[in-house]
Structure 1
Amino acid sequence: MNGLKDFLHLLQHSFRNLLPIVVVVAFFQAIVLQTVPDGLGSMVAGLLVVVVGVALFLQGLELGIFPIGKNLSNAFAKRGSLPLLMAFGFALGFSAVIAEPALIAVASQAETISAGRVDGFTLRLLVATSVGAVVALGVVRTILGHSLHWYMIIGYLLVVTVTFFAPEEIVGLAYDSGGVTTNIVTVPLIASLGIGLAVSIRGRNALAHGFGLVALAVMVPMISVQLYGIFVYSLGAGPALAAAQPAAGIAQAAAAAIPEPAGMLGALTGMLVDLLTMFRDVAPIIVVILFFQYGVIRKPIAHLHKVVGGFVMVIVGLYAFVIGLKLGLFPVGRAMAEQLVALDTYTWVYLFALSIGFATTMAEPALIAIGQKAEEAGKGRLNANHIRILVAIGVAIGITIGVHRIITGDSIHYYIMGGYALVIALTWLAPKYIVPLAFDLGGVTTSEVTVPLVTALGIGLATNIEGRNVLIDGFGLIAFASIFPIVTVMLYALYAERFKPTGEKT
């Protein structure tokens, strides 16, 4: 009975979270464009499916993913074996990324556009290995109690330096590869590993030492893929072909995950196949968990039925979520980009970018989950709703700046290097307790809601603005959506530290 009450509460919570998207779309359709979108009934039905999907997902996290991550972390910490913990961290990071559908789409698009110069499978192995290695490194950081800010300052100095030398053809691919490593399932799982480890080690703080694994998982693939691109384009032969299309591949993959109507039987068959595909995508994670649980720890999983039910709810909820997005918002987003560009002024394009950036971020299930965990870890310092609003403001600002870049046709290099230079400076100045969380929050913005909608907006603008090349100008919004939430969260922490009365908790 309590489970049903919790689920109904989550349904209500999910509906409130999606309201900003509905309000933004309705405002621009009714007031600015003054048109009724085609398939209004389908859109309404899609939004209802999204609400149910988000509720199932959040319930599944609490029942399955968070408990299993914490329990494994506690068990390994009690054993006191650093190699074992590092092996678990590597295996979890690698398995969470190697079968990621968005990464597969990015790698495939990169191989096609580069005429084989970039090998898709090599790229996937490189990104997955990078994430596995960096999760293992993050485990060591938590155990040793190191502050994250040095890791991030040195890391992003490397990112900016490598970006300066990287060929234009690889920059977008590298930043997109970093973004797609943090999806709606892997973020909570990796975060629960870090939090569980920090809680189980004496002298460690869940807020300062438990967060940060997601941030590292985003950063390192940016470096490794750009280094790979420098190697490929320096030593390879043939014309330099733009590798910006992978950003489009993410949106296409998200859309392609849902079958187009082909009769009731065909649609049902397609939905069943795609649902089984999602189970396949998380299979490597399940295999790793079962191996370490039964092969290494050699103890049964506590409350196995709840954990299994939680994983099933996460997968089904995610699938319902993506179906609802495609039915409800994808077609409208693409059409609105075309219609807004056709107006006499770009003012409405900027306003739409600002509004949709805020609205989609407020609806991100991964952000909601991490915000709740941050509030618990903060013990009075942090408020989950305030965190979400700060992150949403950052994404809105970032996407607006990214849209401005597309409209003007400027190179992404200088925007990215300038953005991360600001992040590095703030990392040096900000209170140390907020740094791991701020970087993790930058990672969770590139998830299932924001990536497809924002990518569709960028490609729609580049396609419809004269003189723009969709392969060069139609990507990059994902990177901007990751940078500026870090900035807003750190700026708020600086304000809270310096201007609140002495003795008041921040």
Structure 2
Amino acid sequence: MNEFLEHLKHSFRNLLPIIAVVTFFQLVVMRELPDGLASMSLGLLVVVFGVALFLQGLELGIFPVGKGLSNDFARRGSLPLLMVFGFCLGFSAVVAEPALIAVATQAETISEGRIDGLTLRLLVALSVGGVVAIGVLRTILGQSLHWYMICGYVLVVTVTFFAPPEIVGLAYDSGGVTTNIVTVPLIAALGIGLAASIRGRNPLMHGFGLVALAVMVPMISVQLYGIWVYSFAEVADVASAAAGAAAFVDAQVVEKTAGSMVLGMITDLAGMFRDVAPIIMVILVFQYMVLQKSIPHLPKVMAGFVLVIVGLYAFVVGLKLGLFPIGTSMATQLVALDTFLWVYLFAFSIGFATTMAEPALIAIGSQAEEAAKGKLNGNRIRLLVAVGVAVGITIGVHRIITGDSIHYYIMGGYTLVIALTAFAPKYIVPLAFDLGGVTTSEVTVPLVTALGIGLATNIEGRNVLIDGFGLIAFASIFPIVTVMLYAIIAERVMRTEEGATS
């Protein structure tokens, strides 16, 4: 109970920046109180409670199981078995991911069926499964992540150059939404547990990186799919795209369930269990049928998984009640102002605030601090990532406002990332790329998606399919830049100080 109360206090402190941003823009810029203020306040309290439950559940269930399975497989010494487990875990964690389902449905709607939603989901899930298996192999062999990421993103940039504009933003967003509030800690626990159990492996250098690979490869596969699709299909109609986008935002913001409120809550909670069920099935099959071992402290682990699901449900419900309605309406209100300056300021502020409140980032920051053994500070990492997300979303909003092509922004951003990867200290590269992935989770994705589509819908001359997507990509790129820049500068300062003392 004491641990839960600490998580509760921590969750409330993390949401304060969001409350401050919303309050400032409503009272100072809009100069009016939003409708449904009581509902929004209740939603924020539910978010605080949900995050606390989620973090408690992680410590009780997901982290111990992930690390335990990794240790058992490492002791088995079977590389094929480990890679099969990695593939199944990656595939099951993504194929039922709610954010991916939403993006795939949206893409099918506004492309008038040229992009098939189920095909897109399977393609992304297969990509993640395959790349997690490769990431497990990298950890076992003790290979540096540098060349994986440099070669991978050179391929990403090359494919982006040839990809049609309709698919680029969607492809990068599809890569971003593969890393959610449940899958990130589980995949990270797999990598860290595996590295910790193999002699000669460093948990910081070899344990992190699976999330980064899971973000990168879907970007390539979806763009290749888009090149094929748009070579044999007609151009989508802009008007129908806008209508589809509006329907998507409505579904994200005010998703309604037929019947009573209690029935709706039970249905939504059952949906959360359904989304996590593939992950649980993979764990049970490998634990009991392959390893033929029982799960240690099973009641405690089961309680942890229940807390994760209930906490996640409360978190999402709280966001819908508290932040989604005002976030969507504010996008429209800000565009209606005389200057876009407030749009830029809101983009920066909300990017920073939502990232500071991101539960997956809190979890990864704590794991990184533990793995680094005092070399890194979890709160400093979160601050660097939040600044990167804020800068990235601001640049992405600027692209929508000006109507510039996303190609050059994305290619320029990842060219910078590739260059920094070559110069950054090896210990920081896996973590930096993983942090770029965890910024696109349950808090950031819906708010950023609503902002991008809202701007593209309300600014004349913008195509929702081309301009509405892509903000998530910007939210992923720039945290990698800020974290690696910090590590490069910190290492040079340390060398200078050591040279001066000697």
TM bracket, shorter-chain basis: over 0.9
- Measured after TM superposition, the shift of residue 460 of structure 1 is 1.8
Assess if the C-alpha contact under 8 Å between 1:102 and 1:254 holds in 2. Answer: no
| Gap runs ≥5 in structure 1 | none
Q: In 2, Cα distance between the equivalents of 1:399 and 1:113?
A: 23
Q: Deviations over 1:364-404 (max 9, x none)?
A: 00000000000000111100000000000000000000111
Alignment of 1:399-438 (within 5 A): 399-438=393-432
Q: In 1, Cα distance between the equivalents of 2:194 and 2:251?
A: 34
Residue 313 of structure 1 pairs with residue 307 of structure 2: yes
Equivalence for 2:253: 255
Assess if the C-alpha contact under 8 Å between 1:462 and 1:474 holds in 2. Answer: yes
Equivalence for 1:33: 30
Q: In 1, Cα distance between the equivalents of 2:251 and 2:150?
A: 33
When residues 25 and 396 of structure 1 are mapped into structure 2, their CA distance, relative to the original with a 3 A threshold, is same
Equivalence for 1:365: 359
- Measured after TM superposition, the shift of residue 252 of structure 1 is 5.4
Equivalence for 1:481: 475
Residue 203 of structure 1 pairs with residue 213 of structure 2: no
* SS of residue paired to 1:369: helix
Alignment of 1:435-446 (within 5 A): 435-446=429-440
Q: In 2, Cα distance between the equivalents of 1:479 and 1:352?
A: 18
When residues 351 and 73 of structure 1 are mapped into structure 2, their CA distance, relative to the original with a 3 A threshold, is same
Residue 91 of structure 1 pairs with residue 91 of structure 2: no
Q: In 2, Cα distance between the equivalents of 1:251 and 1:336?
A: 13
Tell me which amino acid in the other structure corresponds to 2:325.
Answer: P
- Measured after TM superposition, the shift of residue 469 of structure 1 is 2.6
Q: In 1, Cα distance between the equivalents of 2:248 and 2:194?
A: 32
Q: In 2, Cα distance between the equivalents of 1:244 and 1:416?
A: 23
- Measured after TM superposition, the shift of residue 250 of structure 1 is 7.3
When residues 131 and 86 of structure 1 are mapped into structure 2, their CA distance, relative to the original with a 3 A threshold, is same
Q: In 1, Cα distance between the equivalents of 2:328 and 2:277?
A: 33
- Measured after TM superposition, the shift of residue 103 of structure 1 is 1.5
- Measured after TM superposition, the shift of residue 253 of structure 1 is 5.3
| Range with greater deviation from structure 2 (494-503 or 212-221) | 494-503
Q: In 1, Cα distance between the equivalents of 2:455 and 2:107?
A: 21
Equivalence for 2:317: 323
Match of 2:101 among 90, 97, 104: 104
Tell me which amino acid in the other structure corresponds to 2:404.
Answer: D
Equivalence for 2:349: 355
Residue 232 of structure 1 pairs with residue 232 of structure 2: no
Q: Deviations over 1:416-448 (max 9, x none)?
A: 000000000000010010000000000000000
Equivalence for 1:171: 168
Equivalence for 1:388: 382
Give aligned pairs, total: 496
When residues 71 and 23 of structure 1 are mapped into structure 2, their CA distance, relative to the original with a 3 A threshold, is same
| Range with greater deviation from structure 2 (334-343 or 241-250) | 241-250
Q: In 1, Cα distance between the equivalents of 2:347 and 2:211?
A: 26
- Measured after TM superposition, the shift of residue 116 of structure 1 is 3.0
Tell me which amino acid in the other structure corresponds to 2:267.
Answer: V
Residue 61 of structure 1 pairs with residue 58 of structure 2: yes
Match of 1:270 among 264, 274, 294: 264
Assess if the C-alpha contact under 8 Å between 2:109 and 2:241 holds in 1. Answer: no
Q: Deviations over 1:348-371 (max 9, x none)?
A: 111111111100000000000000
Q: In 2, Cα distance between the equivalents of 1:241 and 1:146?
A: 47
Equivalence for 2:498: 502
- Measured after TM superposition, the shift of residue 324 of structure 1 is 0.6
Q: Report the TM-score, using the length of structure 1 for normalisation.
A: 0.95
Q: In 1, Cα distance between the equivalents of 2:387 and 2:180?
A: 20
Assess if the C-alpha contact under 8 Å between 1:198 and 1:205 holds in 2. Answer: yes
* SS of residue paired to 2:375: coil
- Measured after TM superposition, the shift of residue 176 of structure 1 is 1.3
| Range with greater deviation from structure 2 (237-246 or 281-290) | 237-246
Q: In 1, Cα distance between the equivalents of 2:251 and 2:190?
A: 28
| Range with greater deviation from structure 2 (487-496 or 344-353) | 344-353
Tell me which amino acid in the other structure corresponds to 1:462.
Answer: A
Q: In 1, Cα distance between the equivalents of 2:340 and 2:164?
A: 30
Q: In 2, Cα distance between the equivalents of 1:107 and 1:341?
A: 27
Match of 2:370 among 365, 370, 376: 376
Q: In 2, Cα distance between the equivalents of 1:31 and 1:21?
A: 15
Equivalence for 2:184: 187
Identity %: 78
Q: In 2, Cα distance between the equivalents of 1:249 and 1:287?
A: 33
Assess if the C-alpha contact under 8 Å between 2:455 and 2:468 holds in 1. Answer: yes
| Gap runs ≥5 in structure 2 | none
Q: In 2, Cα distance between the equivalents of 1:135 and 1:248?
A: 35
When residues 250 and 94 of structure 1 are mapped into structure 2, their CA distance, relative to the original with a 3 A threshold, is farther
When residues 237 and 452 of structure 1 are mapped into structure 2, their CA distance, relative to the original with a 3 A threshold, is closer
| Range with greater deviation from structure 2 (391-400 or 175-184) | 175-184
When residues 237 and 26 of structure 1 are mapped into structure 2, their CA distance, relative to the original with a 3 A threshold, is closer
Assess if the C-alpha contact under 8 Å between 2:205 and 2:430 holds in 1. Answer: yes
